[in-house]
Structure 1
Amino acid sequence: MFQKNTKGMRIAILFVAMALFVTTTSLVLIDGKKKNVSLDLNGKQVEVRTAAATVGEVLAANDVEVQKHDIVEPAADTPITADTDIKWQQAKKVTIDIDGKTQELWTTDRTVNDVLKTAEIEVTTHDEVEPALAAKVTDNQPITIAKAFPVTVKDGGKERTVWSTQTTVRQFLTDQNIRLSNLDKVEGDTKAKLTASNAVVNIARVEKVTDVVEESANFKVKRKTDMTMLKGKEKVVTEGKKGKVQKKFQITKKNGKIVSRELVGKTMVEEPTHKVVHVGAKAPKVEVAAAPAKAKSGGTSASSQVAVSRGSGSEPSGGKEFYANASAYTAYCTGCSGITATGINLRANPNMKLIAVDPRVIPLGSKVWVEGYGYAIAGDTGGAIKGNRIDLHMPTKEAAYNFGRRQVKIKVIN
């Protein structure tokens, strides 16, 4: 039995040895068929030995799923030879947005700049690209391009051209760091869109400044009635002298040019000296006619009777007519000198028809007609004679008392 067991073990060992020989021989034969292959898998370098027959089989053996837009070099059905170099670039999907218009494409380019060059999209220096041109492309990569266009800027009357990608006037002003004061004006709506065909920004620079100037102040001419001078004569008593006034103006400028000038304040620095002129109001002496003398007892001379040359006839048809409050006085009233403002001696001419007037209403020297009194001359003034008020000269106190006060019609003839 021992011999039988030994024989069986020998047979088993022999079978195992034969199996190992066959396996080893097969492995040697298989390894002898393998080839060295260099792989570039999306930039990753790999060295492999493979018995695969084609490029596609090698990639599949390395878990590479080749898609439609991927790049494989050499082609997937290319037979494998010794030291074959295989390159696989995986395509990525990108979306390009140019000023709101989009397009999709598949690319194996690695950077944004390469993608745009491949797509034949020209980018200028002033365009804005997001992400940056040097950025690497990822799958489903969005690329946004804002194309720059020239914008004409008219700022305060000065014109220049700049490049911009901003869509509204407000964004453009911010991007260009153009600052506006509270008074400055931008033409149109700042929210309006800028386009390449309508890219003009007009800015009016407005400022308000204060201007103080000193000017001469004219003097006034004051005319005063002078009863010692004949009517029609004038005399300068005080020469006039101009003063000085300081005026403050608020000036509004638009683009450096004055558009409005408003007086906001005035201060008198030096008062003017007014010119004073005396105006003569003395009437020329009135011609009188002497009445026949009446002999007095003892044969003494007679007194003279005085009257205006036109007498005391009926109411004239012409002249300036109005009503006045009339009173009466004599040359011998209390405080009276008997000499009128025009120089007539009433005591020497007690029967003369003469009235006291306000020269502002009836000029001195005028001939008048007074209801109930007749024709007379305006030859005197009085402190209480103001406005439409007259005082009639009477030869005696009795006549003055009899007249009293009344309203009468008066006509200024000349």
Structure 2
Amino acid sequence: MIKSTMENLFYRSLRSKQIAITAIAFALFVSVISLVLYEGTKKSVTLEVNDEKTELKTSAHTVGQLLSDQEIEVADHDLVSPSVNTPIEEGLSIRWEQAKQVEIQIDQETKKVWTTESKVSDILAVADITLEENDEVQPSLQANLDDDQTISIQKAFQVTLVDGGSEKKIWSTSTTVADFLKRENIQLNEHDKLKQEADGIVTPGSVIEIVRVEKVTDVVEEPTNFAVVTQSDAKLLKGREKVVQEGKKGSVQRKFEVIKENGKEVSRTLLSEKVLEEPQKKIVSVGSKVMVAQASNKKPVTVSRGDSAPSGGKEFYVTATAYTAYCNGCTGKTATGINLRENPNLKVIAVDPSVIPLGSKVWVEGYGYAIAGDTGGAIKGKRIDLHVPTKSAAYNFGRRQVKVKIID
């Protein structure tokens, strides 16, 4: 009885194990079939992440779901192609690029832009920045930007350059005068002047002026004037002069330091002087003899046009008037020292010494023989004034054209 019971229990245990194994095998079979069926539903796609490509199979329904399955978090500015809502299809190529923020420095202003581009020109296009011909960009437009690298733009502006008096307009991005001169390859010589400070700020419309200074040595020969020496001559009538020795100019060599600014001379400094030839002084004898005239009689002089002219002598016509020793402003003494108030009947005429020399003996038509012994402020050129003893005689004479002869 006991033996039979033990056998029954054994068979029951063995059957239970068989059932369990069968159940496990069935479950495993179902799992394998399910996995095969699941894998059969996956699609093959190409995923490009920041320029690195990967081939993979996915059961994701959309591009967004695929990226999420790959633990890729898509930010607002990232590039996803095709879009995240695109359904997954067999053989689909998917591209994702992570955007980065780029800082663009434009003169003193800063602009930030999110982009997936790396080429400088493409980044500027994304930032909607237009460059002019003379603007400067660092790095260059064709360069690829590294991480954390910024783009620097210097906008060009017009500057007026006045160099040696010549003016022109130049586009520049320089911030200081010194940098501007360096960029334009402008050299300053030793004596040149820069109107602005070298560290001065350059702004749009600035005027940079250079004065070109030149120092040269100039050697010239110049004439020197002679001195005029006068000496008294008692043999000459007062008012007359006689050249004893003609003057002759000398010559001197002078050495100058000449400073020119923009080609124009602004200063001349004498460095040395050398006499090449001494001048010869001019000696002039000046008459000191006082003329003493005696009246031929004490009767008044009668002016008549009937006096006959002497032969010989220089002859010409002049305008004649008459005066007395008692005219307004008259002293009664002539320029040659004759006292007409003491000798009212003397025949004396006032002349222009450049036409009729003082002291000359003359003959005047209608007046007779006389001495050129006086001058007058109004007696210029071919004009004479005849001395007569009375005012009435002067008035009667009036103004006439008369013939004059210089006898001696």
Scaled by the length of structure 2, what TM-score is found?
0.59
Deviation at 1:245, TM superposition (A): 0.4
Look up the match of 1:61.
69
Deviation at 1:243, TM superposition (A): 2.2
> Which residue of the other structure, out of 157, 160, 178, is the alignment partner of 2:165?
157
Contact 1:215 1:244 in 2 (8 A): yes
Look up the match of 1:75.
83
> Which residue of the other structure, out of 105, 109, 112, is the alignment partner of 1:101?
109
Question: Which amino acid letter does the alignment assign opposite residue 51 of structure 2?
Answer: G
> Which residue of the other structure, out of 262, 270, 279, is the alignment partner of 1:263?
270
Residue 147, structure 1, aligned to residue 160, structure 2: no
Contact 1:130 1:143 in 2 (8 A): yes
| Secondary structure at 2:144 match in 1 | coil
Deviation at 1:21, TM superposition (A): 3.8
| Secondary structure at 1:261 match in 2 | strand
| Secondary structure at 1:45 match in 2 | strand
Question: Which amino acid letter does the alignment assign opposite residue 126 of structure 2?
Answer: T
Output one character per residue of 1:155-182: Cα deviation in whole Å (capped at 9) or x when no partner. Answer: 1111112110112222211211111123
Look up the match of 1:114.
122
For the residues of structure 2 that align with 1:70 and 1:224, how far apart are their CA atoms? 114
**Structure 2, unpaired ranges of 5+:** 1-9, 291-408
Deviation at 1:10, TM superposition (A): 8.6
Look up the match of 2:92.
84
CA gap of 1:225–1:62, structure 2 versus 1, over 3 A, is same
Look up the match of 2:218.
211
CA gap of 1:73–1:280, structure 2 versus 1, over 3 A, is closer
For the residues of structure 2 that align with 1:38 and 1:11, how far apart are their CA atoms? 47
Residue 178, structure 1, aligned to residue 186, structure 2: yes
| Secondary structure at 1:161 match in 2 | strand
For the residues of structure 2 that align with 1:67 and 1:35, how far apart are their CA atoms? 26
Look up the match of 2:133.
125
Say which is worse superposed, 10-19 or 203-212, in terms of deviation.
Answer: 10-19
Root mean square deviation of aligned Cα:
3.6
Question: Which amino acid letter does the alignment assign opposite residue 130 of structure 2?
Answer: E
CA gap of 1:16–1:273, structure 2 versus 1, over 3 A, is same
Look up the match of 1:195.
203
| Secondary structure at 2:222 match in 1 | strand
Deviation at 1:80, TM superposition (A): 1.8
Contact 2:120 2:141 in 1 (8 A): yes
| Secondary structure at 1:180 match in 2 | coil
Number of residue pairs aligned between Structure 1 and Structure 2: 280
Contact 2:103 2:150 in 1 (8 A): yes
- Aligned-pair identity in percent equals 47
> Which residue of the other structure, out of 50, 75, 83, is the alignment partner of 2:58?
50
Deviation at 1:11, TM superposition (A): 8.3
For the residues of structure 2 that align with 1:67 and 1:75, how far apart are their CA atoms? 13
Residue 249, structure 1, aligned to residue 261, structure 2: no
Contact 1:93 1:139 in 2 (8 A): no
Contact 1:235 1:278 in 2 (8 A): yes
For the residues of structure 2 that align with 1:64 and 1:135, how far apart are their CA atoms? 29
CA gap of 1:76–1:281, structure 2 versus 1, over 3 A, is closer
For the residues of structure 2 that align with 1:207 and 1:19, how far apart are their CA atoms? 108
Look up the match of 1:305.
none
Output one character per residue of 1:71-130: Cα deviation in whole Å (capped at 9) or x when no partner. Answer: 222333433222222121211101122111112221122211111112211112210112
| Secondary structure at 2:33 match in 1 | helix
Contact 1:234 1:278 in 2 (8 A): yes
Deviation at 1:253, TM superposition (A): 1.4
For the residues of structure 1 that align with 2:168 and 2:38, how far apart are their CA atoms? 79
CA gap of 1:192–1:234, structure 2 versus 1, over 3 A, is closer
For the residues of structure 2 that align with 1:240 and 1:132, how far apart are their CA atoms? 82
Look up the match of 2:42.
34
For the residues of structure 2 that align with 1:121 and 1:282, how far apart are their CA atoms? 104
Contact 1:92 1:138 in 2 (8 A): no
Scaled by the length of structure 1, what TM-score is found?
0.58
Contact 1:37 1:82 in 2 (8 A): yes
For the residues of structure 1 that align with 2:81 and 2:287, how far apart are their CA atoms? 128
Deviation at 1:143, TM superposition (A): 1.6
Equivalent runs, 1:357-372 vs 2, <5 Å: none
CA gap of 1:10–1:250, structure 2 versus 1, over 3 A, is same
Question: Which amino acid letter does the alignment assign opposite residue 114 of structure 1?
Answer: D
Say which is worse superposed, 167-176 or 270-279, in terms of deviation.
Answer: 270-279
Look up the match of 1:299.
none
For the residues of structure 2 that align with 1:160 and 1:235, how far apart are their CA atoms? 66
Question: Which amino acid letter does the alignment assign opposite residue 216 of structure 2?
Answer: V
For the residues of structure 1 that align with 2:103 and 2:246, how far apart are their CA atoms? 94
For the residues of structure 2 that align with 1:245 and 1:109, how far apart are their CA atoms? 82
Contact 2:223 2:250 in 1 (8 A): yes
Deviation at 1:145, TM superposition (A): 0.9
Contact 2:177 2:196 in 1 (8 A): no
